[in-house]
Amino acid sequence: MAKIMVIYQEPKDVAEFKQYYENNHMALVKDVPNVKHAEVNYVSAAMNTDKPYFLTATIEFGSKEQLEDAMQSPAWAKVSEDGQNMMKFLHEPPLLLITE
């Protein structure tokens, strides 16, 4: 199994960000091929850091190869483009981790 984990710090406007993220951005993720599971979790506490973490998103794939194929897809290109659109809500880009 391989995953993309995205970690966001607190946005400029929490309500607007949540509405956009849940209704627009995650809808695009659902169109990405090979996605086995995608979930969003809101951070209630972040330990050992002074960063104001707000949200984590995890997108699961069956294998590293499936993840790599998905990242080459037109659907993933739309997700990436929308990530740039979301910068209007954020102070800095999210952290992206790819795990196996």
| Cβ-based neighbours of 26, under 8 Å, separated by 6 or more | 38, 40, 57
pLDDT tens string 32-61 = 999 999 999 999 999 999 999 999 999 999
pLDDT tens string 61-98 = 999 999 999 999 999 999 999 999 999 999 999 999 99
Tokens of 54: 């707000």
Q: Are strands 53-61 and 35-42 parallel, antiparallel or unpaired?
A: antiparallel
